[in-house]
């Protein structure tokens, strides 16, 4: 991909870390990063809302070689786009129409959509919402679904292979790996298969670079956090 500049709007350990990882895998450190302080409410400022009207991270600003500028707002779309834009990095199966590529897309989207949704509902109802808005029944429903329906599928794959789509690392692991870490943060994904999986992922230099700031993330918003009252889901 021929580009002039790439800029990532980021907050540690959130979905933007997926994109940061994909960037380190594809363009190295040839990108800019701006931290959006979520607990300070910076995602709701008029300036940031012009970039991302969904008031969330990540946002990826790409200035192409011809001067065109594009804002991408969905983390998994960014990961997929970068993987496709740099085929020499071997983040996708080579064959365009194959069982391997079908499985790759299936697992990338499985992580990006239903798994992410379950984890988000757990986080929202256990930590993000105020006490009068939290619904523990919703959190428990998705915990149960995740642990009884999702985890067995992933464990079966990870007991058979090092990575989610076999023994070769792909961009699907960037999204799935983040989801597994997210699950562990909430007391799930405790099977040894998940620990082994994360051990394989953590051997990649791009992973270590992307998550070097993860220790700055606290899942519990501080008291008086500015997004209170602005959060819409």
CATH code for position 32: 3.40.30.10
Predicted pLDDT at 227: 63
**28 and 103 assigned to the same domain:** no
Predicted pLDDT at 96: 86
Average pLDDT, the chain: 97
Give domain status of residue 176, yes or no: yes
**166 and 82 assigned to the same domain:** no
CATH code for position 144: 1.20.1050.10
**85 and 105 assigned to the same domain:** no
Give domain status of residue 156, yes or no: yes
Give domain status of residue 214, yes or no: no
Give domain status of residue 232, yes or no: no
Give domain status of residue 24, yes or no: yes
**115 and 47 assigned to the same domain:** no
**67 and 104 assigned to the same domain:** no
**Residues 6 or more apart whose Cβ sits within 8 Å of residue 221:** 39, 127, 128, 227, 228
**76 and 147 assigned to the same domain:** no
Predicted pLDDT at 108: 99
Cα–Cα distance measured from residue 57 to residue 77, given in angstroms and rounded to the nearest whole number: 13
Predicted pLDDT at 156: 99
Which ranges of 111-170 would DSSP assign to H, the alpha helix?
116-123, 136-145, 151-160
Element (H, E) at 68: none
Predicted pLDDT at 226: 66
**10 and 42 assigned to the same domain:** yes
**87 and 127 assigned to the same domain:** no
Q: How many CA atoms lie within 13 A of 131 on its CB side?
A: 1
Describe the strand order of the beta sheet including 3-10 as a list of residue ranges: 32-35, 3-10, 59-64, 69-72
- pLDDT band for 86, please (50, 70, 90 cuts): very high
Give domain status of residue 140, yes or no: yes
Which ranges of 91-135 would DSSP assign to H, the alpha helix?
99-110, 116-123
What region does 90 belong to: left with phi over 0, alpha with psi -120 to 50, or beta? left
- pLDDT band for 224, please (50, 70, 90 cuts): confident
**31 and 53 assigned to the same domain:** yes
Give domain status of residue 44, yes or no: yes
pLDDT tens string 5-61: 999 999 999 999 999 999 999 999 999 999 999 999 999 999 999 999 999 999 999
What's the mean pLDDT in 120-129? Answer: 97
Predicted pLDDT at 128: 94
Number of domains present in the structure of the chain:
2
Query: Which residues constitute the domain of residue 19?
Result: 3-91
Give domain status of residue 206, yes or no: no
Nearest to 17 by CA among 215, 180, 213: 213
**29 and 104 assigned to the same domain:** no
Percent over 90 (pLDDT), the chain: 92
What's the mean pLDDT in 137-147? Answer: 99
**124 and 172 assigned to the same domain:** yes
What's the mean pLDDT in 190-219? Answer: 98
**67 and 124 assigned to the same domain:** no
Cα–Cα distance measured from residue 89 to residue 139, given in angstroms and rounded to the nearest whole number: 38
- pLDDT band for 225, please (50, 70, 90 cuts): confident
Cα–Cα distance measured from residue 48 to residue 197, given in angstroms and rounded to the nearest whole number: 36
Cα–Cα distance measured from residue 153 to residue 106, given in angstroms and rounded to the nearest whole number: 13
């Amino acid at each position: 991909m021929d580009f002039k500049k790439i800029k990532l709007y980021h907050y540690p350990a959130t979905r933007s870390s997926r994109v940061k990882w994909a960037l380190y895998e594809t363009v190295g450190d040839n990108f800019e990063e701006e931290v959006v302080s979520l607990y300070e409410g910076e995602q709701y400022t008029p300036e940031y809302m012009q970039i991302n009207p969904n008031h969330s991270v990540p946002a990826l600003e790409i200035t192409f070689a011809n001067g065109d500028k594009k804002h991408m707002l969905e983390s998994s779309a960014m990961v997929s786009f970068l993987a496709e834009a740099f085929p020499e990095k071997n983040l996708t199966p080579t064959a365009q129409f194959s069982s391997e590529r079908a499985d790759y897309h299936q697992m990338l989207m499985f992580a990006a959509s239903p798994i992410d949704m379950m984890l988000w509902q757990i986080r929202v109802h256990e930590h993000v919402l105020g006490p009068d808005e939290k619904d523990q029944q919703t959190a428990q429903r998705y915990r149960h679904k995740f642990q009884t329906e999702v985890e067995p599928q992933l464990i079966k794959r990870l007991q058979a292979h090092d990575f989610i789509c076999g023994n070769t690392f792909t961009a699907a692991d960037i999204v799935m790996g983040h989801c597994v870490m997210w699950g562990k943060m909430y007391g799930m994904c405790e099977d040894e298969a998940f620990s082994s999986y994360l051990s394989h992922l953590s051997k990649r230099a791009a992973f270590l670079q992307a998550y070097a700031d993860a220790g700055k993330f606290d899942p519990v918003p501080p008291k008086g956090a500015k997004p209170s009252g602005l959060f819409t889901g």
